[in-house]
């Protein structure tokens, strides 16, 4: 079982007004089968944390390891999904999904086959030959997810993947993420600024404070497992227990923070 761990990590940036502590002694661990969600306002170092796990940057102190080995750069064992879809607009939808396979020099027919299967998996069957410019925001995020899955990664790292989507599309893709998690057991790290999304998706929820970015609270919500056991998303989100948990987080941590979304979408 693969394990990605962040151990006592600090990151700071020099600015004209002195050092900014983006992350301060943060520790967390993601194993296969976990969905760890980081919730926090902007400036709390969420994206920096994801960048460390993806291997885009190094910590100033502490260690980020994968299966015990220090992460020194990006790798196909960790699939990343970006808020800005970061697709290649000159390629068709299917070619985008197969981008990682192209890099690994997988043959054309196998690429096509696997891209078709993945696009079917994320609900985009029939859109294989469409141009990226022809797809909606939700469809592009589904495509970004399929592209990350094509490499069969041990971990999925998602940087506010649903932040720019309308509420309805967002709910559907949340369910899609849980479906994929249930079927593959991939370890997931997801960043969001929506309390509701965090509660619904997380098996472990960490709340981060801004400047310095610190973990101020850890929770183990059980709603994702209830979804996996067959309960519908609507029924979970309407459950008084869910609403109570949502209000509790809101009042305890974000009562004066306008950036955090607390409305039920």
Question: Which CB atom, from 61 or from 103, has the smaller least distance to other proteins?
Answer: 103
Backbone angles phi, psi at 169, to 5 degrees: -60, -40
Task: Show contacts with other proteins in window 183-202 (CB under 8 A).
Answer: 183
Check if the beta carbon of residue 65 is closer than 8 Å to that of residue 77. no
Phi/psi-derived region of residue 230, left when phi > 0, alpha when psi is between -120 and 50, beta in every other case: left
> Dihedral of the CA atoms 108, 109, 111, 113 (nearest 10)?
160
107 near other proteins, judged by CB under 8 A: no
Rounded to a whole number of angstroms, the minimum distance from the CB of residue 226 to other proteins is: 15
- Per CB under 8 A, contacts with other proteins among 157-186 are 157, 166, 168-169, 172, 175-176, 179, 183
In sequence order, the β-bridge partners of residue 157 are: 80, 189
Q: Which residues contact 197 (CB under 8 A, 6 or more apart)?
A: 37, 162, 170, 174
Please tell me what DSSP assigns to residue 207: E
Residues 110-139 close enough to bind other proteins by CB under 8 A = 122-123, 126, 130-136, 138-139
Residue among 188 and 207 whose Cβ is closer to other proteins: 188
Residues 230-249 that bind other proteins (CB under 8 A): none
Contacts to other proteins by CB under 8 A? 54-56, 73-76, 78-80, 82, 84, 86-90, 99-100, 102-104, 122-123, 126, 130-136, 138-139, 147-148, 151, 157, 166, 168-169, 172, 175-176, 179, 183
């Amino acid at each position: 079982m693969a394990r990605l761990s962040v151990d006592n990590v600090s990151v700071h940036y020099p600015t004209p007004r002195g050092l900014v502590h983006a992350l301060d002694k943060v520790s967390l661990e993601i194993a296969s089968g976990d969905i760890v969600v980081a919730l926090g306002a902007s400036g709390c170092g969420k994206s920096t944390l994801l960048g460390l796990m993806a291997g885009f940057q190094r910590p100033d102190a502490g260690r980020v390891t994968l299966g015990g080995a220090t992460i020194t750069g990006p790798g196909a064992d960790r699939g990343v999904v970006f808020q800005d879809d970061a697709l290649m607009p000159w390629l068709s939808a299917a070619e985008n999904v197969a981008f990682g396979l192209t890099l690994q020099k997988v043959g054309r027919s196998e690429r096509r086959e696997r891209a078709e299967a993945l696009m079917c998996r994320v609900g985009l069957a029939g859109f294989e030959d469409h141009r990226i410019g022809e797809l909606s925001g939700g469809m592009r995020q589904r495509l970004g997810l399929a592209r990350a899955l094509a490499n069969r990664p041990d971990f999925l790292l998602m940087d506010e993947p649903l932040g720019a989507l309308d509420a309805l599309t967002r709910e559907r893709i949340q369910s899609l993420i849980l479906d994929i998690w249930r079927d593959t057991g991939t370890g997931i790290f997801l960043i969001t600024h929506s309390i509701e999304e965090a509660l619904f998706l997380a098996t472990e929820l960490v709340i981060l404070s801004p400047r310095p970015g610190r973990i101020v609270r850890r929770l183990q919500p059980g709603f994702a497992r209830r979804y996996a056991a067959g309960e519908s998303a609507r029924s979970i989100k309407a459950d008084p227990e869910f609403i109570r948990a949502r209000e509790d987080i809101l009042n305890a941590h974000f009562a004066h923070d306008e950036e955090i979304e607390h409305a039920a979408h």
